[in-house]
């Protein structure tokens, strides 16, 4: 188990370096001049241009800029925002709880609905229920996030007026953040109606962000369950006269969840990618909105550092899922 953990952890270093390199190169291929973005001046004089380029380190060779950037990261410095002059790590830690709260709710929504849907579809294979659930899953998987979000806003917010259109809580409520999680902070504030307002603001973004993971988990659970239900030990359990709940819920589902756990871990990356669009649609003040605003402002250090930080989190979560998978399935630990 120890060598398995070491192998997985060592994979983090080259993966992180590759992402840092690709992000660094991609940012420099984006049109626009970061010096103009910082000064807000067009037609800047050559002297001022040279001064700011030297200050930003842009007068150095690209390879030296990259090595300097890696050295900064190694010391916990992800740079400073051009537009706000605030350390990127500070802005990230301030905004990340909003994205994390949304991602957790979306994953809970996807898992709580996806696994039962997959189990029901597998146990009703070939029936109307199976076709309906898998058809809905395929539709959800194919649904463009932007279009899906706007559709829900038009129906539930504009036509029915059941949910707010944007934001994390009504402007009537104000309190100092304690944890950064609006559900917890609104509850701690003790203000009447604050928690229900936070919940109502969270419903539509959660559904939009959780739709694709929900569809993926449902399809994977169905596939894994069908394979397990055909195993000899499941047929033996049925022959012994065990109840369908015990056969499916205890013997089959526990083994079928092993690949599903891996899929749930991989969906974290999809959640982070989907959060960018979802937060922009619902004006959710998280990392996704922050990155899109940095593109609009041509704040390249924010874009570069933000992507790298999000990638680092996704890598760590995937490593943890790999380790959990190794615990659940010992054969994986010995695979080369």
Q: How confident is the model at residue 234 (pLDDT cuts 50, 70, 90)?
A: confident
Contact present, 202 and 164 (Cβ < 8 Å)? no
Beta partners for 80?
87
> According to the model, what pLDDT value does residue 180 have?
84
Does residue 329 carry a pLDDT above 80? Answer: no
**155-168 pLDDT per residue, tens:** 999 899 898 888 88
Q: How confident is the model at residue 38 (pLDDT cuts 50, 70, 90)?
A: low
The dihedral sign for the CA sequence 328, 330, 331, 335: positive
> According to the model, what pLDDT value does residue 1 have?
65
* Entry field: residues in the chain: 336
Contact present, 110 and 217 (Cβ < 8 Å)? yes
Q: How confident is the model at residue 179 (pLDDT cuts 50, 70, 90)?
A: confident
Contact present, 139 and 155 (Cβ < 8 Å)? no
42-to-22, 39, 45, 100, 231 alpha-carbon distances in Å: 29, 9, 9, 38, 70
**108-140 pLDDT per residue, tens:** 999 999 999 999 998 888 899 999 999 998 888
Residues 156 and 147: their CA atoms lie apart, in Å, by 14
Residues 241 and 152: their CA atoms lie apart, in Å, by 46
Least confident of 19-23, 201-205, 271-275: 271-275
Beta partners for 87?
80
> According to the model, what pLDDT value does residue 44 have?
67
Q: How confident is the model at residue 333 (pLDDT cuts 50, 70, 90)?
A: low
Take residue 279 and report the two structure tokens written for it.
Answer: 């937060």
């Amino acid at each position: 188990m120890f060598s398995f953990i070491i192998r997985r952890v060592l994979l983090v270093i080259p993966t992180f370096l590759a992402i840092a390199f690709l992000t660094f190169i991609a940012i420099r291929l984006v049109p626009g001049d970061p010096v103009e973005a910082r000064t807000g001046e067009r037609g800047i004089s050559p002297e001022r241009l040279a001064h700011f380029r030297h200050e930003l380190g842009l007068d150095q060779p690209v390879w030296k800029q990259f090595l300097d950037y890696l050295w900064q990261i190694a010391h916990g410095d992800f740079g400073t925002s051009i537009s706000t002059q605030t350390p990127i790590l500070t802005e990230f830690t301030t905004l990340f709880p909003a994205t994390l709260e949304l991602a957790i709710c979306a994953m809970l929504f996807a898992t709580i609905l996806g696994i039962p849907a997959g189990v029901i579809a597998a146990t009703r294979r070939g029936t109307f229920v199976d076709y309906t659930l898998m058809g809905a899953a395929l539709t959800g998987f194919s649904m463009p996030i932007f279009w899906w979000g706007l559709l829900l806003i038009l129906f539930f917010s504009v036509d029915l007026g059941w949910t707010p259109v944007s934001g994390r809580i009504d402007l009537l409520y104000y309190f100092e953040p304690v944890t950064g999680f609006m559900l917890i902070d609104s509850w701690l504030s003790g203000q009447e109606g604050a928690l229900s307002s936070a919940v109502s603001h969270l419903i539509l973004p959660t559904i939009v962000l959780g739709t694709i993971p929900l569809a993926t988990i449902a399809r994977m659970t169905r596939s894994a369950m069908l394979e397990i239900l055909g195993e000899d030990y499941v047929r033996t359990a049925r022959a012994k006269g065990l109840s369908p709940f015990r056969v499916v819920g205890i013997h089959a589902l526990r083994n079928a969840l092993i690949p599903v756990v891996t899929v749930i871990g991989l969906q974290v990356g999809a959640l982070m990618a989907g959060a960018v669009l979802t937060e922009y649609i619902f004006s959710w003040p998280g990392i996704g909105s922050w990155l899109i605003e940095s593109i609009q402002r041509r704040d390249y250090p924010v874009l570069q550092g933000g992507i790298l930080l999000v990638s680092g989190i996704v890598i760590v979560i995937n490593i943890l899922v790999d380790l959990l998978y190794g615990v659940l399935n010992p054969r994986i630990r010995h695979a080369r």
